[in-house]
Amino acid sequence: MRRYIRFLRYCLHINRKFVFSYIFLGIFSIFTPYLYINIFSKIFDKLVNNLSNNIVVENILIYFIMLILLTVYMWFFETVESKVKNLFELSVDSKVVIDQLKKISNLKQESFENEDIYNLISRVCSEDRSLISLTFISIVGFIVVFSQSVIYFYLVSRVNFILACVLLIIVIPMFYLANKFGKENYSFSKSFTYIFRKNKFLYNIFVEKPFAKEKEVFKFGNFYREKWKDKDDTIRKKYHIINLKWYGAIKLSNIITEIISFIIIFTIIFGYGSKNMSVGFAVAFITSISKFINSISWNVPYYLKDISEGMEYFDENILFFNLEEENSKKSYSLEVLEKIEFRNVNFKYPNFDKLVLKDVSFSFKDKNHYAIVGVNGSGKSTIVKLILGIYTNFKGNILVNDKDIFEIDYDSFRKNIVVLNQDFKKYDLTFKDNITLGLEYDEKKFNSIISKLELEKVIKKLKNGIETNLGKFDIGASDLSGGEWHKIAFARILYRDAPFYIFDEPISSYDAISEKEFVNNINKYFKDKMCLIISHRFSIIKDCDYIYVLKDGEIVQSGRHEDLQSICGVYKKMFEMQKGLFYE
């Protein structure tokens, strides 16, 4: 019962007005069959008994009016119910998505490294969110039918008490089967989460623009189509088995309830068990009980199946919303970042035993430029992830302005840092929004950056200037060259004023001219900022104030470029190898 109370509270949280409206409509619908039977039986009986009486119009008119009003109400109820249902579904979909996105944005990175948790996130956020609204509607629908069944039980018991009890007993297995198949259906979805996710990726290869060019060049369409088909066939076969069992069980219960319905009608016609039953009551009851039996045999099983499946989904929603979040609200709010220090930091990624960083110690301070250099896989980018707080499961200490990083308010800390990654994102937004990215548009500041990076030529060729959509998503959008996108990424970090800038392999895909321009821009626009440059390209790090050399997760050398060049070590060896590429 607790889970249903929690579910009701969640529905009220989503949209209180629609919840109460739908419950109110449900309460009224409970009594419509009873009112119909009584009003119709009165009309029929009076017509039969008083056909030759002149007062018949006066006697029957009031009941005809009541019947018309009831018919109008039932039509109005169905219309309003359908409208409320649709509005509630839209409201639920919107609110649930907003809640889920808010939660995901606050989750720890470790959550995405854990396969079970990631599968949970995929299920909760990929499942049809209408399961929430469908579950609520099914609960109300079931309560209405159950309440009506109590009324019918009373009416049938007036005809034959034993038949009423038999009808009740027949319905119980139906409840059990519906609940069982609902759980089985959702359990199937859980077990196939990875295959669903994989198949979605394979499908996107065929329909999304970014894959179009390589799909044509490498002609891999048939290969991926067969992989998608194999997985899809596996899913469909399992679904087919479950649905076949469900359909067979429901069909059997339908046959049984129809037989019971026929027996009840037969009993009423011949008046067994009720000598005082009027003809009007018998006709009205037979008409109404037929509809009700049909409702029990078809609607109730689906109500219960949807409730069972929906509550399983809701339980997983609760697990999802209870996942641990980044605790951004700490005691110390950082005003200006002046120093970052690593003290004997050890780190390994979740689900891996190998240490990526081993007893690493260094510090960044003042307005100096620092570099971390090393071969691929040495742990360079991992340091950035720890600085940004993406991972917190390290051993040792990370200090910010001489305070433990866990004492610093995360939001205030992140406002002090701007990062440019090698795999920066190309957003399908306008040229302007690709640079401001959520910040308030400052025309003077924006135009200054455009001028500094000589982006005027790019803007001139765009159809709608800075309001032109970029990327490949929108029809009529303009896609830019690689070099132009790099300039936009650089403009993006210039637009954000912060004391600490991190460049993580920023020039890995640059040509020689672009590389030189990038280095000049850093020296020109960030000379008064604290910078950390992660790279294995020496053109960008040789002018740094201090360089740390990483090998297998350990700092093996540190110093200025000139000092490291004079020592026969890892740094000099890497520099000579890179230099040798140009003189072979």
Tell me what the mean pLDDT of segment 266-289 comes to: 64
pLDDT at residue 189, as a whole number:
65
Pairing mode, if any, of strands 395-400 and 339-347?
antiparallel
Report the half-sphere exposure of 204 (CA within 13 A, side-chain side).
7
**What total number of domains does the chain contain?**
3
**Residues 490 and 513 sit within 8 Å (Cβ to Cβ):** no
Structure tokens at 147: 């309440």
Q: Are residues 382 and 449 in the same domain?
A: no
* Residue-averaged pLDDT of the chain: 79
pLDDT at residue 523, as a whole number:
86
Q: Are residues 356 and 303 in the same domain?
A: no
Q: Are residues 515 and 432 in the same domain?
A: no
Q: Highest mean pLDDT range out of 235-239, 254-258, 344-348, 525-529?
A: 344-348
Crossing angle for the helix pair 2-30 and 56-106, to the nearest 10 degrees = 160
Q: Are residues 365 and 268 in the same domain?
A: no
Task: Give the tens place of pLDDT for each residue, 101-147.
Answer: 888 878 877 777 777 788 888 778 875 667 788 888 888 888 888 88
Split at pLDDT 50, 70, 90, the class of 340 is very high
Tell me which residue has tokens 């009720």.
274
pLDDT at residue 424, as a whole number:
83
> What is the C-alpha to C-alpha distance for residues 503 and 501, in angstroms, rounded to an integer?
7
> What is the C-alpha to C-alpha distance for residues 294 and 261, in angstroms, rounded to an integer?
9
Q: Are residues 105 and 248 in the same domain?
A: yes
Residue type, 227: K
Phi, then psi, of 543 in degrees rounded to 5? -95, 5
**Residues 340 and 400 sit within 8 Å (Cβ to Cβ):** yes
The full length of the chain comes to 584
Q: Are residues 470 and 514 in the same domain?
A: no
**DSSP code for 440:** P
Q: Are residues 309 and 202 in the same domain?
A: yes
Task: Give the tens place of pLDDT for each residue, 543-582.
Answer: 899 999 999 899 999 999 888 888 888 888 888 877 655 5
Q: Are residues 404 and 432 in the same domain?
A: no
Structure tokens at 495: 């637009």
Tell me what the mean pLDDT of segment 147-159 comes to: 75
**Residues 105 and 121 sit within 8 Å (Cβ to Cβ):** no
Tell me what the mean pLDDT of segment 366-394 comes to: 87
> What is the C-alpha to C-alpha distance for residues 498 and 415, in angstroms, rounded to an integer?
7
For residues 540 and 110, the model is more confident at 540
pLDDT at 182 over 80: no
> What is the C-alpha to C-alpha distance for residues 446 and 512, in angstroms, rounded to an integer?
27
Nearest to 477 by CA among 439, 442, 428, 410: 428
pLDDT at residue 555, as a whole number:
92
**Residues 523 and 543 sit within 8 Å (Cβ to Cβ):** yes
Split at pLDDT 50, 70, 90, the class of 329 is low
pLDDT at 294 over 80: no
From 302, 321, 340, the end of a domain falls on 321
**DSSP code for 529:** S
Tell me which residue has tokens 């907003």.
98
Tell me what the mean pLDDT of segment 172-198 comes to: 66
**Residues 477 and 471 sit within 8 Å (Cβ to Cβ):** yes
From 290, 305, 321, the end of a domain falls on 321
**Residue 111, H or E segment:** helix 110-113
Q: Are residues 445 and 505 in the same domain?
A: no
Share of the chain above pLDDT 90, in %: 14
E strands in 8-77: none
The DSSP code sequence of 433-460 is HHHHTTSPP-HHHHHHHHHHTT-HHHHH
For residues 450 and 107, the model is more confident at 450
| Residue 369 falls in which region: left (phi positive, over 0), alpha (psi -120 to 50) or beta | beta
Q: Are residues 76 and 103 in the same domain?
A: yes
**Residues 177 and 301 sit within 8 Å (Cβ to Cβ):** yes
Q: Are residues 167 and 69 in the same domain?
A: yes
Dmax (CA) of the chain = 124
Task: Give the tens place of pLDDT for each residue, 83-95.
Answer: 777 777 777 777 8
Assign residue 563 the CATH number of its domain: 3.40.50.300
For residues 492 and 131, the model is more confident at 492
CB within 8 Å of 367: residues ≥ 6 apart = 527, 528, 529, 530
> What is the C-alpha to C-alpha distance for residues 377 and 347, in angstroms, rounded to an integer?
14
pLDDT at 3 over 80: yes
Q: Highest mean pLDDT range out of 139-143, 214-218, 342-346, 480-484?
A: 342-346
Strand arrangement, sheet containing 500-504: 417-421, 500-504, 530-534, 369-373, 546-551, 554-559
Assign residue 70 the CATH number of its domain: 1.20.1560.10
pLDDT at residue 273, as a whole number:
45
Split at pLDDT 50, 70, 90, the class of 160 is low
Nearest to 25 by CA among 130, 168, 184, 136: 136
Tell me what the mean pLDDT of segment 400-412 comes to: 88
From 468, 497, 526, the end of a domain falls on 497
| Residue 93 falls in which region: left (phi positive, over 0), alpha (psi -120 to 50) or beta | alpha
Alpha carbon of residue 60 to chain centroid: 59
pLDDT at 406 over 80: yes
For residues 24 and 326, the model is more confident at 24
E strands in 429-507: 500-504
pLDDT at residue 177, as a whole number:
65
Phi, then psi, of 233 in degrees rounded to 5? -65, -40
Q: Are residues 264 and 398 in the same domain?
A: no
Structural domain boundaries, residue 232: 2-321
**Residues 133 and 89 sit within 8 Å (Cβ to Cβ):** yes
> What is the C-alpha to C-alpha distance for residues 282 and 268, in angstroms, rounded to an integer?
6
Report the half-sphere exposure of 6 (CA within 13 A, side-chain side).
8
Nearest to 297 by CA among 157, 176, 170, 162: 170
Task: Give the tens place of pLDDT for each residue, 192-217.
Answer: 666 666 667 766 666 666 666 666 66
**Residues 545 and 369 sit within 8 Å (Cβ to Cβ):** yes
pLDDT at residue 93, as a whole number:
77
pLDDT at residue 272, as a whole number:
47
